[in-house]
Amino acid sequence: MANKNYKPTTAGRRGMSVNDFSGITRHRPEKGLVQSLAKTGGRNSNGRITMRHRGGGAKKKYRIIDFRRDKVGIPAKVETIEYDPNRSARIALLSYVDGEKRYILAPVGLIVGQKVMSSDTAEISPGNAMPLKNVPLGTGVHNIELRPGAGGKIVRSAGSVAQLMAREGTYCQLKLPSGEVRMIHKDCIATIGQVGNVDNGKVDLGKAGRVRHMGRRPHVRGSAMNPVDHPHGGGEGRTTGGRNPVSPWGWCTKGMKTRKNPRTQRFIVKDRRKK
């Protein structure tokens, strides 16, 4: 799947590109697998803004995705490949032999009419899901569970893939897209293959309006503010801030480690920041 590049007919079109949607086979979602999606504007349940620069954007409905892949041993057929406005990857509609339908992330190479299954003895082909203990070493996987039965939590964005490096005892070592090597329990389920829509990262939005359509509001530079609003604000003329880059509350924003989770630190074999 490639991208479509526009000719510079206007200033906004110059450099703009979009996904060509050539792999999409259906334009309306399965009615029973969508639900309404309320906008939060970056606010939590108390009404406080916990994520800045969020708001507006086009209306969209949430597609219910099967991240657990818990219909074990029941074969399914790929009916459609669809667009999902809530994620960068494409989704595939599966129709199981018992009549149930579910959405999954569409990996590279998955086509309409293909048979997929979640099983300990499934083939090593894109879209099949199985525990890590049954996946051959060196295989690329995605939609990986962090705890058995909890559903896939990591490696789910477009073009991402993790590689199974080794097994030791009850744990497997996976190299994640960030370069981090992490231990994950061998009973955790993963899906074979690389997540589709690989060229999504090469899309050039081209103009600020497309960013607003995605629900992202403007981000004002701290150096353009007054001293009362930001540590970098104020001064006569344009300045560099006079200190290391910080947030409006004085937290270091470049290079400072913020991870504080000793409970899971032992599972990280190689940090993503260390070469």
Q: Is residue 229 part of a domain?
A: no
Q: Which two tokens stand for residue 196?
A: 């589709």
Q: Name the helix (H) or strand (E) containing 209.
A: helix 208-213
Predicted confidence at residue 259, as pLDDT, reads: 85
Number of domains composing the chain:
1
Within 8 A by CB and 6+ apart from 15, the residues are: 8, 204, 206
Predicted confidence at residue 256, as pLDDT, reads: 87
Q: Is residue 254 part of a domain?
A: no
Give the mean model confidence (pLDDT) for residues 80-96.
Answer: 96
Q: Is residue 225 part of a domain?
A: no
Q: Is residue 113 part of a domain?
A: yes
For residue 273, what pLDDT band results from cuts at 50, 70 and 90? confident
Question: Residue 156 pLDDT more than 90?
Answer: yes
Q: Is residue 234 part of a domain?
A: no
For residue 31, what pLDDT band results from cuts at 50, 70 and 90? very high
Report pTM.
Answer: 0.90
Predicted confidence at residue 242, as pLDDT, reads: 83
Q: Is residue 119 part of a domain?
A: yes
Give the mean model confidence (pLDDT) for residues 23-42.
Answer: 94
Instruction: For residue 60, give its domain range.
Output: 3-201
For residue 1, what pLDDT band results from cuts at 50, 70 and 90? low
Residue 29 sits in a domain whose CATH number is 2.40.50.140
Q: Is residue 68 part of a domain?
A: yes
Give the mean model confidence (pLDDT) for residues 61-88.
Answer: 96
Per-residue pLDDT tens digits for 195-225: 999 999 999 999 999 999 999 999 999 999 9
Predicted confidence at residue 113, as pLDDT, reads: 94
Q: Is residue 253 part of a domain?
A: no
